Structure 1
Amino acid sequence: MTPAPLATEDSLAAIAATPRLLVALDFDGTLSPLEDEPMDARMLPAARDALEALVAVPDTFVALVSGRSLHDLRLIAEHADDSRIYLAGSHGAEHWIPGEGAIEPQDDEGDVELRDRLRREAEEATSDLEGIWIEPKTFGFGVHTRRADAADADAANRRVDRIVEAEAPHWRRRTGHNIVEYAFRHEGKDTAVAALRERVGATAVLFAGDDVTDEDALRKLGPDDLGVHVGVRPTSARVSVRDIPAMADLLASLAAQRSHARE
């Protein structure tokens, strides 16, 4: 992978003209700044304005696709019951559909019991380390190291890796910005975007994200789709933007182009 060229007005032209467009977006680091306290994350006002402009355009569907649990995603996105924005939480294992509500899988009791036990073991194993937080998730847990120094972060990840490898080697492990996530379900953002595409009958998809967990979805996009990376690292995305305000500007420009194309 190599860094993608910066997005331009021209790079949006084809996606803006597609008959039915799905705009699927990661949340943390894409629409909201990363926070030391994850539940403090909120969308930038400019990003929220752009999403509202997009959902107002006919045949345009907006979705948030996040590793957050559906419950937490609704809180940080300030997502109301009458929202027109689709949600895919827990990397696509949970969904919220406008007009229908939440679609959450029923999991085996054994998986839930193992989740709770390993989460407690992870908390105990890292309790002596500064700045480590074990985040409960619907299908597992995350080890946050943003507030830890490098030595404690490395120690926490090694200790929890040993626990999961010994007791749940079938679990999926994901790395992100100062977090390692473990889950007994294996859905990814690629499957989440595919399910959303089918549900809304999209003829093209714009997917944007900033983290390595977003690359699954970026790699699976088709030739008529557009992948956007927020940041400057190597990526499978076709284009990139420098930061979250630039992402908000891109979404606002897309809404304006699409409105104009459909007049």
Structure 2
Amino acid sequence: MDIGLSSASFYPHVNTEDSIALMKNLGFKIGEIFLNSDSEYEEDFGKLLLQQKLENDFIINSIHAFSSSFEPYLFDRYKRRRDDAFLKFKKVCKLAKLLGARCYTFHGMRCGKLHEIHGNFIFDIYNKLTYTAGEQGIKLCQENVFWCLSSNTDFLYELKEKCTEPIYFTLDIKQAYRAGKTPEEYIDVMGSAVENLHVNDRDGENSCLLPGKGNVDYKKILCKLKEIGYNKVGIIEVYSDNYKNYCQLKEAKDYIYNICNS
């Protein structure tokens, strides 16, 4: 498994366009680009990122939008608000294609009660989103996020069953524990549709740490992923206050790589 890094790990101290060279200099050849503002969805900004990608011989595995700014409103009951959000979604998909990304890491709806959700309405929108992403050659990867509806495994089951267009998943380790579940529980639901992995650590006091700084049993998780045939990439995604210097990010990469190959 390749080990990559998310540019979100530098927020808010490093501009997105400067993160690619930084990740490459730290020994990462692949990663996820987190777009931090609406202006970063524009084609001109995408061309700037593409230039950095090519100059640094870097692989962009996935794109992650500033999701709270529009993704929840893709499911809004007010059509005009929904349509405006969809325009942003299309921009992100086109930018992902420009950068050669495989995946769009998607948060989607905020938490809600399943019985209060108009099922067909929600799944029709998911079909529209997955189709639109697919037109650009991008896999829409629903991430399990503790403050979103996607933290609910019953919802993820329904998503797989009721969507007529293919839906994929980003598994995030810390988000699983924050939701009071284990990563293995989400793997059971997501199955072979897992296309992206966010790697982080935790302990009894901290919900997000650098890999190797907590008590996550990576061997157990990786064995479970191996059972479903996942051997793509593990993207280290932490917060900038989870480390003191960049060398620690490289150490975390080596730590996970050694477990993957032990």
The TM-score normalised by the length of structure 1 is 0.33
Higher RCO (C-alpha under 8 Å, 6+ residues apart) = 1
More helix, by proportion? 2
Structure (1 or 2) with the larger CA radius of gyration: 1
More strand, by proportion? 1
